[in-house]
Structure 1
């Protein structure tokens, strides 16, 4: 991913997505086993990138199967992991379970300048510029209000808010649908202002 100039998709991203997916389901009251399955799926969700960026979710599901088939995991939990890994990309994915919904929300909420490669040109690449402009991102779970709010702090001197939605609109639609799978509404605040 580094050689191709893509944003960081390594251990930091994998660990964070696993942790956020776990927390989303935990805060919403799902049983511990389901939360742990979400953490595993979140950690493995981008493993297909070792083969190719294209269709990496589906490739990743096949790799995850090989990694987990002999582990101490039930077939039902294995299916939850594989379907979450295989369905996390907005080009073809769907939130087919609470686990996959949590992985989608966790993955798409990891927007931050720490993901931008050191040799990136924020002047020319809108993806790098938008990621670099995001100083903080946090997915807030309010179980009582049934809301999942992506809270962003964006340096508008680097990138305007509109650029965020220009490149991430499909992701935000996917997040809205994932939140609905969890019985919640999806919201976004930018610099403490509700925008969705």
Structure 2
């Protein structure tokens, strides 16, 4: 059965698990991982593969993986990629998705976390790039934490972000504008260097060179 992205986004189970995961992470002080993040990752992953010329079906699988990738947070932040992959398997199997498509989605979800994953398929590579590039002020839940939490400080300092692909030049560039009065550029590297290296490998899997620009200066 060929499921659509709308089938997944409107599914009650998916909505419930995403909401619970986001609520749980809020209690322990993590940035937003709810519907906004899921929607942005879905759209960005799909856009990456679209611009790289992949077929519509593969693009849809990337969109679905992008939306589902963080449902494991409703169990625990630790090992949430693997837990989320198993949860997604149960949901998608119950909805009648073809096993070959389920395999693509759960492989991407299980490989999206920098602690244990890496790009092994086009869908997983697109998800990694979409997930790690979602840095924005609106992910910070409370302004009062900006002074004491480096993750919140870095996210809050980012007032413009964008991911762009140049197929001709074979590059994919994450461009950020950071208010250095709020957070130093070095703070970004302190917490995101591992993620940027993961993005570089994901880009290479797609035949691209990953670039990072902060305040119009190319740093990677």
**TM-score normalized by structure 2?**
0.87
**Residue 40 (str. 1) matches residue 64 (str. 2):** yes
| Residue 102 of structure 1: how far off its partner (Å) | 0.3
Which range moved further: 63-72 or 20-29?
63-72
Shift of residue 143 of structure 1? Answer: 1.3
CA shift, 1:70, in A, is 3.0
Aligned to 2:123: 99
RMSD between aligned residues: 0.9
Residue range with higher mean Cα deviation, 125-134 or 73-82: 73-82
Secondary structure of residue in 2 paired with 1:123:
coil
Name the counterpart of 1:149. 173
- Report the equivalent of 1:171: 195
- Can you give the 5+ residue segments of structure 2 that lack an aligned partner in the other structure? 1-24
User: Matches of 2:124 and 2:160 in 1, distance apart?
Assistant: 24
Moved >3 Å (runs of 4+): none
Question: 1:27, CA displacement in angstroms?
Answer: 0.4
Counterpart mapping for 1:43-122 below 5 A: 43-118=67-142, 120-122=144-146
Using the TM superposition, give the Cα deviation of residue 192 of structure 1 relative to its aligned residue in structure 2, in angstroms. Answer: 1.5
Helix, strand or coil at the partner of 2:173: strand
Higher RCO (C-alpha under 8 Å, 6+ residues apart): 1
Deviation at 1:6, TM superposition (A): 0.5
Distance, in Å, in 2 between the alignment partners of 1:119 and 1:153 is: 19
CA distance in 1: counterparts of 2:143 and 2:153, whole angstroms: 12
Q: Deviations over 1:28-83 (max 9, x none)?
A: 10111000000000000000001000010000001000110133432221111001
Please give the per-residue CA displacement for 1:75-101, whole angstroms capped at 9, x wherever unaligned: 221111001111100000011100000
Q: How many correspondences in the alignment?
A: 196
Q: Which has the higher helix share?
A: 2
SS of 1:140's equivalent in the other structure is strand
Partner of residue 157, structure 2: 133
Q: 1: distance between equivalents of 2:97 and 2:57?
A: 11
